[in-house]
Amino acid sequence: QIKDSATLTRDVLEQHFSDLKGTLKKLLDERLMSLLQEVDVIEQESIKPLDECQKLIEHGVSTADDLLREGESAVDGDVGQQNEKLCNFTKKALHIQLDSLPEVPSLVDVPCLSAQLDDCLLTILKNQIFRHGTVASRPPVQLEEFVEKPGGILVRWCKVDDDFIAQDYRLQYRKSTASHFEDVFVGSETEFMVLHIDPNVDYQFRVCARGDGRQEWSPWSVPQIGHTTLVPHEWTTGLEGYSLSSRRNIALRNDSQSCGVLYSKAPTYFCGQTLTFRQVLLAIETVGQPDRRDSLGVCVEQRNGDDSLQRDKAVCISTNGAVFVNGKEMTNQLPAVTSGSTVTFDMEVVQLGPCSNEGGNFKLRVTISSNNREVVFDWVLDQCCGSLYFGCSFSYPGWKVLVF
């Protein structure tokens, strides 16, 4: 573990600083190019009026030089030509203004470019670089427990550094045969139910945390392996009134007029487990009205022909929050099941005697929870039950149930 984590840490540091070097060089090159372009613009804008002034002066000097030569030629010529040349010279000289110059910018108005480079940037960069990055020998959070669930694993973690104040946690997992981890949870809770887990397959998990008010994540915990031997809960196929997801753990009450109880594929709920129904409603305009015969619960056996679990050998909750045991409504009532509600069933054996025709020898203590409230009661059965079916029934379309 020490050697593997040290090798991984070296690789991460080398890659990070290599990326930083490339990024810094690119930023410096971009800044240099920007400054050079700025020099070019100032040079071109400043030199243009000076160039025009120089051209005017050179043109005036050239004109005066030509006139001077013409005057010398008129003086040096013979008398007959002199008068004509002097006359032409005089006319030309009167029309040429040789006593004025274009306006020349004063010296203080002429730009003088220079580069202003503040050496404190190197000091700032040096200080930031030498404070950049840390090497931690122990991550502040570690995985604590894996609880097997049907088709899932409940993962729990805890802080191991009391001085670390966590704002969020980040859980990742991968199959042992996969090369990359993927995010499965980010939030403030210290446990998460990871679903869609294949039974009897090893998965690696790791967790990290983000400190209060910080953006960066802490080092990862030591990866640990978790698995489940419990097959996932599945709804049975073939009932006309319900459509199922590809994994058959989500059931949708469709528009079919057919009605009945949708049962689990097999009796996969065992005492001591927690069975959870997560209730999800579709768009509000497509949700039908709740019906008093609606039900979510568990039962001893599948029974065709019933339109509800509100019958003998079953316990259930209706969408209005009423609790039924063996078909009889209890006085205690839970909140109504609405969009996003979660309903859980927990059962444990409290009395187990020899099975007989007289019955009453098998008692289960049942806890049903919904919307932060719960009811607890004893469910007396006339037969020993090592496992139970779960089921649901809805009279109107639009109800969608996830079971795990």
Please spell the DSSP secondary structure of 279-295, one letter per residue. Answer: EEE--GGGPPPP-TT-E
**Nearest residue to 228 via CA among 173, 171, 157, 149:** 149
pLDDT digits (tens, 9 = 90+) for 244-264: 999 899 999 998 888 899 999
Per-residue pLDDT at 100 = 63
Q: Which residue has the tokens 């022909």?
A: 305
What's the pLDDT at 285?
28
Q: How deeply is 284 buried, as exposed, middle or buried, from its count of CB atoms within 10 A (0-12, 13-18, 19+)?
A: exposed
Long-range contacts, stretch 349-356, CB < 8 angstroms, 24+ apart: 349/271, 350/378, 352/384, 355/383, 355/384
pLDDT-derived band at 366 (thresholds 50, 70, 90) equals very high
**How far is 374 from 334, CA to CA, in rounded Å?**
7
Name which of 263, 344, 339 is nearest 308 in CA terms.
Answer: 263
**Cβ neighbours around 212 below 10 Å, total:** 10
Render the burial of 311-323: b for 16+ CB within 10 Å, e for the rest: bebbbbbbbebbb
**pLDDT above 90 for 327:** yes
Q: What is the DSSP string of 106-131?
A: PGGGS--------THHHHHHHHHHHH
Decide if 113 contacts 39 (C-beta within 8 A). Answer: yes
**Bigger pLDDT: 374 vs 341:** 374
pLDDT at 1: 65
Q: Could you tell me what percent of the chain has a pLDDT over 70? A: 89
Supply 186's token pair.
């980010």
Q: Is 333 helix (H, G, I), strand (E, B) or coil?
A: strand
Token pair recorded at residue 281:
């409603």
Taking alpha carbons only, the member of 314, 312, 334 closest to residue 323 is 334
Cα 399 from Cα 404, distance rounded (Å)? 17
Round to whole Å and give the CA distance between 401 and 339: 10
Residue-wise pLDDT tens digits, 118-159: 888 888 888 888 888 777 667 889 999 999 988 899 999 998
CA pair distance 233, 248, nearest whole angstrom:
8
Percentage of residues of the chain with pLDDT beyond 90:
40
R_g (Cα) of the chain, nearest Å: 44
What's the pTM? 0.59
Give the pLDDT confidence score for residue 134 in this predicted structure: 74
Mean pLDDT of 355-361: 53
Pairing of strands 262-263, 152-159: unpaired
**Amino acid 201: pLDDT:** 94
**Model confidence at 284, in pLDDT bands (50, 70, 90)?**
very low
Helix (H/G/I), strand (E/B), else coil: 219: coil
pLDDT of residue 99: 62
pLDDT value of position 194: 94
For the beta carbon of residue 404, count every other beta carbon within 10 angstroms. Answer: 19
Q: Which two tokens stand for residue 267?
A: 């009796």
Of the candidates 280, 286, 260, 306, which has an alpha carbon nearest to the alpha carbon of residue 397?
286
- Nearest residue to 369 (alpha-carbon basis) of 330, 404, 343: 343
The mean-pLDDT minimum among 79-88, 185-194, 297-306 falls in 79-88
Q: What is the pLDDT of residue 17?
A: 92
Strand partners, 270: 387
Distances (CA, A) of 162 to 155, 158, 159, 171: 21, 10, 7, 20
Q: Give the CA dihedral 109, 112, 113, 117, nearest 10 degrees.
A: -100
- In this model, does residue 278 exceed pLDDT 80? no
**Nearest Cα residue to 185 out of 199, 202, 205:** 205
The 10 Å Cβ neighbour count of residue 147 is 15
User: Residues 72-81: what's their mean pLDDT?
Assistant: 68
Mean pLDDT of the chain: 84
pLDDT recorded at residue 43: 86
pLDDT at 305 (0 to 100): 86
Q: Is the pLDDT of residue 392 over 90?
A: yes
pLDDT tens digits, 225-249 = 999 998 889 999 989 999 999 989 9
At 388, is the secondary structure helix, strand, or coil? strand
Confidence band of 287 (pLDDT split at 50, 70, 90): very low
The pLDDT of residue 281 is above 50: no
- Please determine, for residue 282, whether its predicted confidence score (pLDDT) is greater than 50: no
